[in-house]
Structure 1
Amino acid sequence: MADPNELDTRSDRRRFLAVAGGGALLPLVARGQTAPPVADKPLPPGLPQPIETIDLWPNGAPGMPRAALKETVNERSDNALLTDRAVFGISRPRLAVFRPVRPNGAAVMITPGGGYRWVVVDKEGYEMGRWLSARGFTVFVLFYRLPGEGWAAGPDVALSDAQRAMRLIRHRARDYGVDPLRVAAMGFSAGGHLCADLLTRFATPTYKPVDAADQLSAKPILAAPIYPVITMSAPHAHTGSRELLIGKDATPALEVAHSPDRNVPADAPPTFIVHAEDDPTVPVENALLLRAALRARGVPVETHLFTHGGHGFGLRFTAGKPVAAWSDLFLSWATGLLL
């Protein structure tokens, strides 16, 4: 079985379990955690919503913007039976938890997309959370801070949240019936950039340690950037994500620093990439650049390119199309590493 940071020895496993918190999980209210993002629109029946969250930062997120943020959830769907929420102004980054009925011991942290303008709730977050948890995975959907909203960490702010979240999942692994060595990362679009940033810069210090959780590795056992934003350089950069992440007039050095394909280490985790060749928003070359960089470093990479699929298909926009196979392809590929 592959490991997240050469931590597959018995002594390393004991270290993980010793640092990871034990004890029964307390209810959301008793734990004093921030509720999941909520919109004003009534929720449709039959779609389970997470009620359990984990705040990332016990003393508040570091480097607060000068102007106070107001968390806002926009409901973009006109269909009363289908939600399509997006949230911005996140000042209390957190994980929303989907517990499986029968845990298989593996976990997946999801970073939804949104062009770094907002974080998509349903299409690339909760829907995938339900799908994976129905198959035994414990799922953590990350609502991360946005780099264009004035945080001191600037373009590293979302990566700080992703690193911290990965460490917290491991720290609390016993609470969730999760093996701390079997925690994967999956991200979509700009969240795919964050996923790729994590798989390449998991060991880069982006914040000061705050507690015992920060002794643990932030490296996922495997990563799955789905139709990801990768490069910050023309001609294939996604303009909106680039401007919000590093600024319209970013230097070439800043572009390199935040293009995951330019920062792949030799010990990056095995990676699964999906993209549609007709993607009108994020050119397929983003996936190809990451694939080439991983292969050049000898990192195992599984890549699936579909002729048709567009952008942002998630699960809901794949019905009746060949691209619908991507989730099962991921499951087949990941099984040998996670289970």
Structure 2
Amino acid sequence: MTLSRRALVARSLVASAWAAARPAWGQTPPPAGPNGTPPGLPQPTETLDLWPDGSPGHLATPLVETVNERSSDRLVTDRAVMGITRPRMAVFRPDRPNGAAVMITPGGGYRWIVVDKEGYEIGRWLAARGFTAFVLFYRLPGEGWSSGPDTPLVDAQRAMRLVRHRARDFAIDPERIAAMGFSAGGHVCADLAARFAANVYTPRDAADALSARPHSAAPIYPVVSMDPAIAHAGSRQLLLGPKPTPALEAAHSPDRCVPADAPPHFLCHAEDDEAVPVENTLRLRAALKAKGVPVETHLFANGGHGFGLRRAIGKPVEAWPDLWRAWAATVGLA
């Protein structure tokens, strides 16, 4: 492909803007992918680094951030990123902010993080409806970080606190910041909603004095339980290792860690999910009910796993985003 002079100048200006922005705002470019981006779809131009001075903890071996394109369709990308050492959020600002924000944690089985179908597509949908969306690219627990299975929670807590600390910059209410996650990212979401007060990292700045409790949580077809009878085997092994103790399984099963002050939850799952059994959502619902935490649950007969937005089209499960939006109004998010 030959680039025109105008395209070359535009690319140079974008690169210069990133270089200029990073020292002042702690911005690292979002994961791009080997084949560029599809035409016509807005891509994030703003990111927010969680740890501008370097991520906490240390690595057993160095990592290289890698983006794999899993789609053969140039117009429908399906990128997955691994080897993240600079965790960050890609920001989708709405034209008309409604004052609420949603932090999105995409899935990927803790092997990688899905960029498009559980990240950017959700971010665009939310921004089009007035929500400021933050897609979190968190560090993966199986890549050798010294914080082990707490690694994603460390980043999720920090991300929630950082958005709250920067609320004025994004025209949002610091008390109306929700969490939404998918599959293994649903585990990150549910874990944050259960263990938002857990002391999992050493505070660094004023942001860390703020609460990491989300206003509300929406784990969608989430990995929840580490019980091998219903756990997603791949996520369980990458999170806990090959032979976890029962105590470790319990500590990282959000359904077994729900506090009485957990935020309201919206749960959604397909009963024909062959990757993450629906029992994960049912156990979390039961635990929330037992603690008196408000919870709304939607189960669909068909939908499989990983339906997001694109794979839900034309099925009853396609209704889930509007169901979430209606529920969000009932709990005061929007």
TM norm structure 1? 0.91
Pick from 211, 226, 230: which aligns with 1:232?
Answer: 226
Question: Quick one: distance in 2 between partners of 1:43 and 1:325?
Answer: 28
Q: State the alpha-carbon separation in 1 of the partners of residues 87 and 50 from structure 2.
A: 6
* Conserved? CA contact 1:28–1:52, under 8 Å: no
Look up the match of 1:285.
279
Task: Find the partner of 1:252 among 246, 249, 255.
Answer: 246
Using the alignment, how far apart are the partners of 1:235 and 1:71 within structure 2? 33
Are positions 1:139 and 2:133 aligned together?
yes
Alpha-carbon distance, 1:58 to partner: 2.4
Work out whether residues 28 and 53 of structure 1, in 8 Å CA contact, stay in contact via their aligned partners in 2.
Answer: no
Contact 1:196-1:225 at 8 Å conserved across structures? yes
What is the TM-score of this pair, normalised by structure 2? 0.93
- Report deviation, 1:67: 1.2
Q: Structure 2 unaligned runs (5+)?
A: 1-18
Partner of 1:108: 102
Q: Give the aligned partner of residue 333 of structure 2.
A: 338
What does the per-residue CA deviation read over 1:285-311, in whole Å, with 9 as the maximum and x for residues that have no partner? Answer: 000000000000000000000000000
Aligned-partner Cα distance in 2 for 1:28–1:114? 29
TM-superposed CA distance for 1:32, in Å, is 4.4
Give the aligned partner of residue 312 of structure 2.
318
Secondary structure of the 1:87 match is strand
Unaligned runs of 5+ in 1: 1-25
Q: Matches of 1:72 and 1:220 in 2, distance apart?
A: 30
The residue that corresponds to 2:187 in the other structure is 193
Counterpart for residue 12 of structure 2: none
Given that 2:60 and 2:146 are in contact with CA atoms closer than 8 Å, whether structure 1 keeps it comes out as: no
Q: Secondary structure at the match of 1:279?
A: coil
Counterpart among 146, 150, 162 of residue 152 in structure 1: 146
CA offsets, 1:236-282, max 9 Å, x none? 01000000000120010000000000000000000000000000100
Q: Please point out which of 62, 72, 83 is paired with 1:78.
A: 72
Q: The residue matched to 2:329 in structure 1 has which SS?
A: helix
* Structure 1 stretches of 4+ moved >3 Å: 26-30
Q: Cα distance 1:46–1:27, how it changes in 2: closer, same or farther (>3 A)? A: farther
Residue in 2 aligned with 1:302? 296
Amino acid at match of 1:268: A
Structure 1 residue aligned with 2:42, among 36, 48, 66? Answer: 48
Q: Distance in 2 between matches of 1:27 and 1:220?
A: 32
Shift of 1:63: 1.0
Structure ranking higher on relative contact order (CA contacts 8 Å, 6+ apart): 1
1:192-239, CA deviations, whole angstroms, 9 ceiling, x for partnerless residues?
Answer: 000000000000010000000001000001000000000001210100
- 2:121 is aligned to 127
Q: What's the CA shift string for 1:297-338, capped at 9, x where partnerless? A: 000000000000000000000111000000000000001321
- Please report how far the alpha carbon of residue 64 of structure 1 lies from its aligned counterpart in structure 2 after TM superposition: 2.1
Give the 3-state SS of the residue equivalent to 1:267 in structure 2: coil
Residue 322 of structure 2 aligns with an amino acid whose one-letter code is D
Q: Which residue of 2 aligns with 1:265?
A: 259
SS at the partner of 2:312?
Answer: coil
For the residues of structure 1 that align with 2:172 and 2:125, how far apart are their CA atoms? 18
Compute the displacement of 1:27 (Å).
Answer: 7.4
| Aligned counterparts of 1:156 and 1:147: Cα–Cα separation in 2 | 7
- Counterpart pick for 1:178 among 166, 172, 183: 172
CA contact (8 A) 1:44 1:80 kept: yes
TM-aligned CA deviation for residue 66 of structure 1: 2.8
Q: Is residue 204 of structure 2 the alignment partner of residue 210 of structure 1?
A: yes
Letter in 1 for 2:333: L
- 1:163 equivalent in structure 2: 157
